[in-house]
């Protein structure tokens, strides 16, 4: 039987290098995680071979009796995990889930109101280069600069002024609890749909550690691969009870946005939903939050500005404006020490979105490896050590070398999939 390593050495070696990178680097990108071997097992099955356009029981192809079972299980588990009575498990990604909701609820040219990318929203919430900003009249809200929290008064004012057909709540970089109820009140006042994109906090919501948007939104979208720790993919949910809405959403995913669903990925989503129902998953999510709070506290103690002063979820933003460091330089220096973060705009950022003055730091991945508070304290301290030298405009190579050695020891202690090297 041909093995990839023999058949295609160039590809196999690139995969091996990426695998080694994931083991040997500290992953603090807030949207990443390490999915389980069971999830990967489901995703690596022959289900990839099957065309199944349509929905369980209503397919355009024959031979769907078994993939129907798979999709029905995924739907049933998604509904039970999130207290929804509608789930569409077919979106290939978070962006496609969001595009389907736009297609179902609004028409090109309609006004939508979402959080700006620069303040923590996602591209698909109305950013200019995205379909959501190009084909719709997108109005954007943001944060109160002094507190780093969502400016609900601005949301209300913009909603009254522009009368959007849809309001989008949810974020890619926000560390506080969102007041979903307030968003729904504003949406009701102006007769808008409320769509919540809970992609970043879906795992925390599943564990009951972050307020669920399901009771408040008409439609909720998410990715399945961030805190939820499943395969890469999207999901649409609703607890609204409106069957006409559900039909529209299904039609917008297929045939509106997509062709055949990825049945192997849907199987992997079903595994992830099952895993998320365990107490172990709840404990994991609790540790994710504790680890983020621990790291944020170290940054504050070391004199760095954390946007909003701390965190209630799995991530926080460090503003480097005061230190005069760019996110780009900080990201590069940490990368050389084998710590992966991402540069991020912060409120009042004097730099361009490509340079930025901030870092976004998230703990889902390190927590999956088994790291706890004391590991996270060390990690945050090492990051501050590097940032301090950068702020002094000194050569960072010594501190990077020291931290890279510490990172190697820590990673060896907490292997992602293999056995611990002691």
The one segment of 169-177, 266-274, 280-288, 405-413 that binds ligand PLP by CB under 6 A: 169-177
Q: Is 13 annotated as a binding residue?
A: no
Alpha carbons 344 and 341: distance in angstroms, whole number: 9
Contacts (CB under 6 A) with ligand PLP, residues 21-40: 31
Residue 140 near ligand PLP by CB under 6 A: no
Question: Which residue is associated with the tokens 């490509």?
Answer: 354
Please state the closest distance from residue 4 (CB atom) to ligand PLP, in A.
25
Bond preceding residue 39 cis, omega within 30 of 0 = no
C-beta closer to ligand PLP: residue 31 or 326: 31
Contacting range for ligand PLP; rule: CB under 6 A; set: 78-86, 185-193, 197-205, 358-366: 197-205
For position 175 contacting ligand PLP by CB under 6 A, the verdict is no
The runs of H, that is alpha helices, within 135-179 are: 152-162
Non-local CB neighbours of 210 within 8 Å, separated by 6+ positions? 177, 201, 204, 312, 313
**Residue matched to tokens 């080694």:** 20
93 touches ligand PLP (CB under 6 A): yes
Beta bridge partners of 361: 316
223 binds ligand PLP (CB under 6 A): yes
Residue with tokens 């991945």: 365
Known catalytic residues are 51, 53, 197, 223, 226, 232
Cα 353 from chain centroid (whole Å): 19
List the structure tokens of 219: 């439609």
CB nearer to ligand PLP: give 115 or 298.
115
Q: Is 121 annotated as a binding residue?
A: yes
Instruction: State which of residues 27, 71, 149, 197 lies at the interface with ligand PLP (CB under 6 A).
Output: 197
Of the two residues 124 and 396, which places its CB atom closer to ligand PLP in the complex?
Answer: 124
Position of minimal CB gap to ligand PLP: 94
Nearer to ligand PLP, 276 or 333 (CB): 276
For residue 59, CA distances in Å to 62, 78, 160, 252 come to 7, 21, 43, 16
Q: Which is nearer to ligand PLP, 202 or 399 (CB)?
A: 202
Q: Tokens representing 237? A: 């949910």
Q: What residue has token string 């820590």?
A: 410
Q: Segment near ligand PLP (CB under 6 A), from 193-201, 351-359, 362-370, 384-392? A: 193-201
Query: Residue 27 pairs with which residues in a beta bridge?
Result: 340
Give the residue from 415, 51, 421, 77 showing the smallest Cα distance to 264. Answer: 51
Q: Is 243 annotated as a binding residue?
A: yes
200 near ligand PLP, judged by CB under 6 A: yes
Interacting span for ligand PLP (CB under 6 A) from 111-119, 194-202, 262-270, 371-379: 194-202
Nearest residue to 46 (alpha-carbon basis) of 211, 233, 267, 212:
267
Binding residues for (6S)-5,6,7,8-tetrahydrofolate, by number, are 117, 121-123, 243, 352-354
Binding residues, by number, are 117, 121-123, 243, 352-354
């Amino acid at each position: 039987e041909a093995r990839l390593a023999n058949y295609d050495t160039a590809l196999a070696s690139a995969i091996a290098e990426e695998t080694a990178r994931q083991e040997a680097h500290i992953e603090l990108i807030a949207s990443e995680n390490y999915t389980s071997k069971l999830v990967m097992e489901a995703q690596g099955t022959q289900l990839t071979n099957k065309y199944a356009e349509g929905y369980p029981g209503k397919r355009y192809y024959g031979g769907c009796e078994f993939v129907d079972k798979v999709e029905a299980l995924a739907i049933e588990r998604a509904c039970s995990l999130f207290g929804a009575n509608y789930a569409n498990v077919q979106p290939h990604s978070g962006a496609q889930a969001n595009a389907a909701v736009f297609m179902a609820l609004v028409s090109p040219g309609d006004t939508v109101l979402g959080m700006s990318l620069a303040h923590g929203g996602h591209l698909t919430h109305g950013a200019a280069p995205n379909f959501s900003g190009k084909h719709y009249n997108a109005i954007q809200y943001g944060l109160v600069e002094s507190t780093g929290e969502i400016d609900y008064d601005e949301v209300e004012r913009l909603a009254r002024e522009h009368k959007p057909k849809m309001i989008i709540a949810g974020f890619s970089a926000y560390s506080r609890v969102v007041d979903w109820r307030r968003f729904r009140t504003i949406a009701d006042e102006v007769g808008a749909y409320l769509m919540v994109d809970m992609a970043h906090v879906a795992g925390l919501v599943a564990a009951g550690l972050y307020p669920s948007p399901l009771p408040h939104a008409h439609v909720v979208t998410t990715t399945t691969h961030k805190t939820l720790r499943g395969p890469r993919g999207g999901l649409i949910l609703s607890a609204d009870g409106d069957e006409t809405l559900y039909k529209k959403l299904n039609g917008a995913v297929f045939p509106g946005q997509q062709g055949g669903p990825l049945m192997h990925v849907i199987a992997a989503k079903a595994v992830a939903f099952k895993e998320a129902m365990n107490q172990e998953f709840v404990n994991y999510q609790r540790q994710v939050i504790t680890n983020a709070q621990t790291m944020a506290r170290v940054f504050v103690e070391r004199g760095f500005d954390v946007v909003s002063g701390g965190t209630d979820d799995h991530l926080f933003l460090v503003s480097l404006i005061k230190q005069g460091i760019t996110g780009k330089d900080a990201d590069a220096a940490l990368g050389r020490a084998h710590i992966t973060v991402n540069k991020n705009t912060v409120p009042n950022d004097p730099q361009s979105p490509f340079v930025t003055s901030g870092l976004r730091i998230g703990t889902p991945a390190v927590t999956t490896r088994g790291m706890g508070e004391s590991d996270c304290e060390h990690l945050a301290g090492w990051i501050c050590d590097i940032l301090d030298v950068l702020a002094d405009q000194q050569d960072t190579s010594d501190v990077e070398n020291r931290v890279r050695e510490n990172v190697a020891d820590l990673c060896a202690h907490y292997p992602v999939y293999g056995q611990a090297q002691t």
